[in-house]
Amino acid sequence: MTRRYVILGNGIAGQTCAEDLRKSDPEASIVIIAAERHPLYNRVALPRYLRGQVRREKVFMRTVEDYTKQNLEIHFETWATDIDLGGKLVHTNRGQEFKYDAILIATGGRPKPPPWPGSGDVSACLGFQTLDDTDSIIEKADSCERVLVMGGSFIGYELAEGVSFRQKAKVTWIMRGPWFLRYVLDEEGGQLCRQLGEAQGVQFITSDEVQTFSRNNGRYVAQTVNGERVEFDLLTYGVGLDYYTEPARKGVELNKGIVTDAKLRTSAPDAYAAGDIAVFYDLMVERHNQMGTWDNAEAHGKVAARNMAGADEDFFDVPTYTTTMFGSTLAVMGVTPDVQPGLESVRTFSFEEKFYRKLFFKDDRLVGAIMIGPPKGRKKLIEIMRSRQRIERPKQELLDPANLKDA
């Protein structure tokens, strides 16, 4: 009998799962429910597109014809409104019903609304998650004088870096913390980031937040708690995601996202979760974890596909994230203190040579790293993390790429 698979979400987790299922079963019925209007595109490329370093058409990874060629039934601008997990039936906003033998929930999330008082009165206010968001930011930022970026996360950084790189609008970046990625970097790492950003023309306002928004001569004005006054034309921000768990609210365990075991199985029969939304049991740190990286989502999709087709495989991988850093490079690997507090760490840095690296350990095993500057030794560090070997020598030695050859 033909197997029926339903996949909610056509990001990299859902797309990878669908294509791997098709490879393993040419006859299966595979339905993809896609909330956006676009075929798969590379979210990792959106910062490069924002910077103007890649053309829009190059962001796309699939065409509508690719789905037809692989016999993947995709429904764009469609989303699940309810999943009957007992009856194995999906209901959509378009009144459709899809039966399944196994389902993958890879719906990700949507940007949290701006939390600042009065921000609802700022009509020129954009989050940064989708291709359509990026199009809007480029159009508005290129036609205005000043952009205000709010939030000390990766999204806030990508906005500040991307808009300032275009060299059209001036950028002010406000964050509540004392520096970017305050739970991962220490003061010196944050200071290096600021040094690189200011060299690119970004104005930093740290340890502060907006108290009120107002209008003055056709422009918006942000007044901060510490007395700063910033005029701007466009507000862009990043304060995290609200995960799209509503369709599965009855029948699976929720904890911000959807809780799974190490095999990405939810608490409902034949229902799996992958990508940003999955709160999966992470064998690397031996606790539940949630990861928002592209590599992690793609790897989730592969494991989910095998298990949906009958395998019994654990997920284990080292998530990675690499991007530019105001003309330098930022690389993050593995698990960091923002998701696993209390990790032991060692670090080294040089403001003159513009580099910083910090390694994180749990139970004498290397579990994470962050680097600013040339990411030398990155692949070897990932190998050590994957091996889960205990570090017997002084941990400080791993900071020097020359010492990694023998690791």
DSSP-based three-state secondary structure for 235: strand
Classify residue 256 as exposed, middle or buried by CB count within 10 Å of its CB (0-12, 13-18, 19+): middle
Q: Whole-angstrom Cα distance, residue 366 to residue 349?
A: 19
Predicted local distance difference test score (pLDDT) of residue 153: 87
C-alpha separations of 336 from 264, 277, 344 in Å? 21, 18, 10
State pLDDT tens for residues 198-236: 999 999 999 999 999 999 888 999 999 999 999 999 999
Question: DSSP alpha helices (H): ranges in 174-227?
Answer: 187-199
Q: Whole-angstrom Cα distance, residue 289 to residue 260?
A: 10
**HEC secondary structure over 58-86:** HHECCCHHHHHHCCCEEECCCCEEEEECC
DSSP bridge partners of 90: 83, 98
**Average pLDDT across the chain, whole number:** 95
Q: Are 328 and 373 in contact (CB under 8 A)?
A: yes
Q: Whole-angstrom Cα distance, residue 352 to residue 354?
A: 5
The domains found in the chain, sorted by start residue, are 4-110+241-308 (3.50.50.60), 119-237 (3.50.50.60), 321-404 (3.30.390.30)
**pLDDT above 80 (res 407):** no
Q: Whole-angstrom Cα distance, residue 78 to residue 140?
A: 28
State pLDDT tens for residues 376-399: 999 999 999 999 999 999 999 999
State pLDDT tens for residues 348-370: 999 999 999 999 999 999 999 99
**pLDDT above 80 (res 9):** yes
Give Cβ neighbours of residue 68 (< 8 Å, ≥ 6 apart).
none
**pLDDT above 90 (res 340):** no
**pLDDT above 90 (res 243):** yes
Phi, psi of 89 (to 5 degrees): -140, 130
Q: Are 41 and 131 in contact (CB under 8 A)?
A: yes
pLDDT-derived band at 1 (thresholds 50, 70, 90) equals confident
Task: Tell me the torsion sign for CA atoms 31, 34, 39, 41.
Answer: negative
**pLDDT above 70 (res 108):** yes
**pLDDT above 60 (res 8):** yes
**What pTM does this model have?**
0.93
State pLDDT tens for residues 20-50: 999 999 999 999 999 999 999 999 999 999 9
DSSP bridge partners of 366: 361
> Residue 328's closest CA among 378, 377, 370, 374?
374
Residues in the chain: 407
Predicted local distance difference test score (pLDDT) of residue 144: 96
**pLDDT above 60 (res 406):** no
Predicted local distance difference test score (pLDDT) of residue 37: 96
Q: Amino acid identity of 192? A: L
What percentage of the chain has pLDDT greater than the value 70?
99
| Tokens (6 digits) for 317 | 């991988």
Q: Are 265 and 252 in contact (CB under 8 A)?
A: no
State pLDDT tens for residues 267-289: 999 999 999 999 999 998 889 99
The HSE-up count of residue 338 (CA atoms within 13 Å, CB side) is 19
**pLDDT above 90 (res 372):** yes
Classify residue 283 as exposed, middle or buried by CB count within 10 Å of its CB (0-12, 13-18, 19+): middle
**Which segments of 151-192 are extended strands (E)?**
170-174
State pLDDT tens for residues 87-100: 999 999 999 999 99
What percentage of the chain has pLDDT greater than the value 90?
87
> Residue 295's closest CA among 277, 273, 322, 270?
322
